[in-house]
Amino acid sequence: MNLPAIYAKGDRTIWIVVLLLSVLSVLAVYSATGTLAYAKQGGNTEHYLVKHLFLVMTGIGLMYVTHLAHYRIFSRIGQIAIWVAGPLLLITLATGTNLNEASRWITVPIINATFQTSDFAKLALIMYLARLLSRKQDQIKEFKDTFLILMIPIFIICGLILPANFSTAAILFATSLVLLFVGRVNMKYILILVATGILAFGLFVVVALNIDLPGRIGTWRARIENFSSGESEANFQAEQAKIAIANGGVFGQGPGNSTQRNFLPHPYSDFIFAIILEEYGFVGASILMLLYLILLLRVVRMIRYSPQAFASFLAVGCCLMLLFQAFINMAVAVNLFPVTGQALPLVSMGGTSIWFTSISIGIILCVSRFCVKEKGGEDELV
């Protein structure tokens, strides 16, 4: 194996997917922030374009730097990060910046920038689980020595995220379960855990719908009721998204020609997929979904030639986390799910979310550099 050649390359297909998503992101965000620019920037539409372009470019820079590392370093980083993530989430719940009755951010002093700690915690948990799974393969079917040890960090991190951000906790929990399945954890234990989770979620829904509780629980209750009612006045966001989808048709109205961006709340983040459907139509939205599926297929193909179990678990965990988030965002936009507040990875406008998404893809690219297959007696990069 020629290691210098590996260090010079990554998965070219994933790089192409990233660049295409980044271009679409800049176009969609520029179009979707027009109303916001007139409301907060005196009509300076270039303000949010420049800001978003800076975030996208720095994200690609983080992705490139991350992909140059050796994948084994993330095992040690995950071991340290998991101990940092818990206290950060606790601090966020206790003293974090409160928006929409949810404490999800910490404001960094001096620079006055907000930092969403759950983005860091998600990546920390995936790295740590990949480390544990790779080290426990010899006793992976054991309950006490393996399954319980794996579940402790999952319950702690997801439990600390849950009060302020139910959807993120659910996505991270689902990603962790799939990662346990890929890691060959006893299926009986996973099924018991899934059944427990379904029962707990059902109990939560019943309590939320029948008991009037203040704060974030009240917000969850309102979203469940809005989704189930189907009334336009009770579900304004979903109705406006449906209009955008209907306007788009097959080929869309063209870039920058959205009308629903003037009515949809957060068209540049939570509902950017609806704007893409309106401007680029069914064809454009299908291409977007195809790009995410290509990312998944490349990772699945990659793990067949992964050098170690840790590298495989790391790449799969990062990929699944991004894909679950992407398809939940899309499902919300077409009214298949209640409003969750999840951004569309690499497309929605954001700050730390773009950077941590870029780092996650950088980790996938890092693993891809070490994936080789035999061909003609020589090692060839996948």
Instruction: Say yes or no: 213 and 264 in one domain.
Output: no
User: Is 217 contained in some domain?
Assistant: yes
Token reading at 216 = 């974030």
**What's the pLDDT score for residue 305?**
83
Output the tens digit of pLDDT for each of the chain's 382 residues: 443 444 446 889 999 999 999 999 999 999 998 888 888 888 788 888 999 999 999 999 999 999 999 999 999 999 999 999 999 998 888 776 655 555 566 766 555 566 788 899 999 999 999 999 999 888 888 888 888 899 999 989 988 888 878 888 989 999 999 999 999 888 888 888 888 778 877 776 676 666 655 555 555 555 555 555 555 444 677 788 888 899 988 988 988 888 888 888 888 988 999 999 999 999 999 999 999 999 999 999 888 888 789 999 999 999 999 999 999 999 988 888 877 778 899 999 987 889 999 999 999 999 998 885 433 333 344 4
Whether 243 contacts 277, CB under 8 Å:
no
Q: 229, 262, 295 — which closes off a domain?
A: 229
**What's the pLDDT score for residue 6?**
41
Instruction: Say yes or no: 382 and 346 in one domain.
Output: yes
How far is Cα 55 from Cα 351, in angstroms, rounded to an integer? 7
**What's the pLDDT score for residue 380?**
42
**What's the pLDDT score for residue 57?**
94
Instruction: Say yes or no: 64 and 77 in one domain.
Output: no
**What's the pLDDT score for residue 212?**
58
How far is Cα 182 from Cα 159, in angstroms, rounded to an integer? 23
Reduce the DSSP state of residue 137 to 3 states and report it. Answer: helix
Instruction: Say yes or no: 142 and 128 in one domain.
Output: yes
Instruction: Say yes or no: 203 and 346 in one domain.
Output: no
Q: 164, 194, 229 — which closes off a domain?
A: 229
Q: Where are the alpha helices (DSSP H) in the chain?
A: 3-7, 12-32, 34-40, 46-67, 73-95, 117-135, 148-161, 166-182, 187-210, 216-229, 236-248, 272-303, 309-333, 352-368
**What's the pLDDT score for residue 38?**
84
Of 114, 216, 237, 122, the closest CA to residue 170 belongs to 122
**What's the pLDDT score for residue 4?**
40
**What's the pLDDT score for residue 216?**
53
Tell me which residue range forms the domain holding 345.
Answer: 11-19+29-42+59-68+247-382
**What's the pLDDT score for residue 223?**
57
Count structural domains, the chain: 2
How far is Cα 176 from Cα 320, in angstroms, rounded to an integer? 9
Residue type, 341: G
User: Is 1 contained in some domain?
Assistant: no
**What's the pLDDT score for residue 85?**
93
**What's the pLDDT score for residue 5?**
40
**What's the pLDDT score for residue 347?**
94
Instruction: Say yes or no: 169 and 315 in one domain.
Output: no
Instruction: Say yes or no: 125 and 36 in one domain.
Output: no
Taking the model in full, what pTM does it have? 0.87
